Structures are given as structure tokens and as C-alpha cells.
Amino acid sequence: MRSSVGVTGIAVLLLAGGAVGCGAKDGAAKSPEMEPAAAVAEAAKNADDITSFRYRLTGSVPGEGKIDGEAAMSVKPLAMSMKMSVQDKTTDGQVEIRLIDKAMYLGGNAEMTKEMDGKSWIKFDMSALGEDSGLSMDQLGAGEAGKNPAADSTFLTGSKDVKKVGTETVDGVETTHYKGTVSLDDLRTTLKDNNLKDKNKESREQREKSIEQYEKMGLDSMTMDMWIDGEHHTKQFRMRGDAQKGPLDMTITFLDYNKPVKVTAPPAKDTADLAEMMKGAEQG
């Protein structure tokens, strides 16, 4: 079960990356061209208004391995569904994660099914587990699940060397590619923005959590790329850096946003409840 929880942490970690956007598939950007810093700032501003999205992710996470998957998330109300493959020295297979009604479900892994007497899902209900369980949302990898991934896109606004790379087509969408480097000190500086403090306390808290996450990974700085469409939304986002356990290289391509996201809990007969398992162990 510990290995399954580890995979959960990998998957939810991936929620912390990139702005969200899609855009029209026909033609180039219709709005006047902006300076790189202004274009990045505008995309970051628009990201705060996104409440749901679907995206595709590929890359590698330090100490965990290569990942490939697709996810959908609703920010309000919070709900998430992710299917992904993780390949490293100890894990090679697909896993699915669902987050709904303050409970997280992990399933889709044949090895885990064998360990749970045929049950194909395990449920982490934090309200039922309670503080005495010794488990927290962060420890189970769900601490980042409630974040709007657009939070990380705003970090490129703190770059001192952001520049335009050129125009590129991503999934049929005409975009402008921007690139810059940003240190953790630069990220902390963005939190001092008075407009951010006054406008959206939730966004600030999300960005603080991301910075803490990167600190734990041992990152000092990152290279960030953003592909922004003609509607000033980020179509694709990439972040790279050298962490203590290896390189981080994650690319997130957004498929749509602000469309309904429906997530349902797995059937109870196929689910093993961790809270009940722990109570049974205590009674035994």
C-alpha cells in the first residue's frame, strides 16, 4: 500500500504546474502583439478566472520516474479525475485517482488489487481517518489537489529575463512561445505583489504551497516556457529544473477550460476504506 500512496503523491504533484487555456484553432492571434513581460502577466491574470479544465501531461519527476497521463479538474466545487502511467525502477503501470467529497480514491493498479483481496480501489477519507491516524492530506499526496494549476503560471511574471521565442502551433492552436528563468527568491517576490494580496487571498496561498513544494524537491531555480494563445490564455506550459533527486521536466498541454467536470466515486463493493482497515487493525 505504501507504494500505491507514493504513486498518488506523484500524480497529485503534477497538478502543480502551468496556466490553463486553449483558444481558437483557426488563424493567428487577433490581438496586437504585446511585450513579453506584459503578455505573460496578462495570461497569469486570466488564469485566476478559470474554474475547471482538462489537460494532458508528460515528463519526469525527480526520484519517481517518467509519467504520462490525462486529467480533469473542477476547482469549485473541488473534484478531480486523473489517469496516468508511471514508469520507474519499482513501478510500471497505470493508476487512476479520483478526488470527490473530501475523499481520495486510488485504483486501476493490478498489483494493488491483489493486495486488497480483489478490491480495485482504496479510499482515503481524511475526515474519517482523523488527526490521530498520523496521516494528513499532504502525506497522502492530496494536499496539492485543491490547488488551481494556474497558480504556477504566474511565477514566470517574476522572471527578469522573459523573452519571446517565436510563434508555434500547439494542438492546432496558434500560440506565441515565451521563455524565462526564475529562482525561488523570485517566486517569493511575486507573493509581495500588493494587487495579489488585495485581489485573491486564495491565489496567494496556492502559490505559497507551490513554492514550499519546490523547496522540498531541492530546486533553486527553474526554466519556464509558456505558449500563449490569441485569447491571452496559456495553451501549454513547461517547467524544468535540477532537483536533489534528479531533473524535473514537466510539460502540460491544456485541452479545454471552464467546462463541466463530473467525477463519481467508485462502487462501494469495489472499494477498500482505509479508515475501516485501520480500525479493524486496532481492534485486532
pLDDT digits (tens, 9 = 90+) for 152-196: 777 888 889 999 999 999 999 999 999 999 998 888 877 776 455
The CA-atom distances, in angstroms, between 256 and each of 14, 150, 231, 279 are 17, 13, 13, 42
**Dist CA 71 CA 48 (whole Å):** 19
* Cell of residue 13, nine digits: 504533484
What is the reported pTM? Answer: 0.77
**Of the ranges 5-9, 88-92, 261-265, 275-279, which is most confident?**
261-265
**Dist CA 148 CA 282 (whole Å):** 37
* Cell of residue 109, nine digits: 493498479
- Partnered with residue 95 across adjacent β-strands are 84
Radius of gyration of the chain from Cα atoms? 19
Q: What is the pLDDT of residues 253-273, one digit of tens each?
A: 999 989 999 999 999 898 988
**Closest residue by Cα to residue 60 from 81, 85, 82, 80:** 85
Element (H, E) at 270: none
* Cell of residue 53, nine digits: 479544465
Determine the average pLDDT of the residues in 7-21.
42
**Closest residue by Cα to residue 121 from 135, 129, 109, 130:** 109
* Cell of residue 60, nine digits: 519526469
- Three-class DSSP category at 17: coil
Architecture of domain 2-276: Clam (2.50)
Q: Quick count: other Cβ atoms within 10 Å of Cβ 200?
A: 14
For residue 108, pLDDT over 60 is answered with yes
pLDDT recorded at residue 75: 80
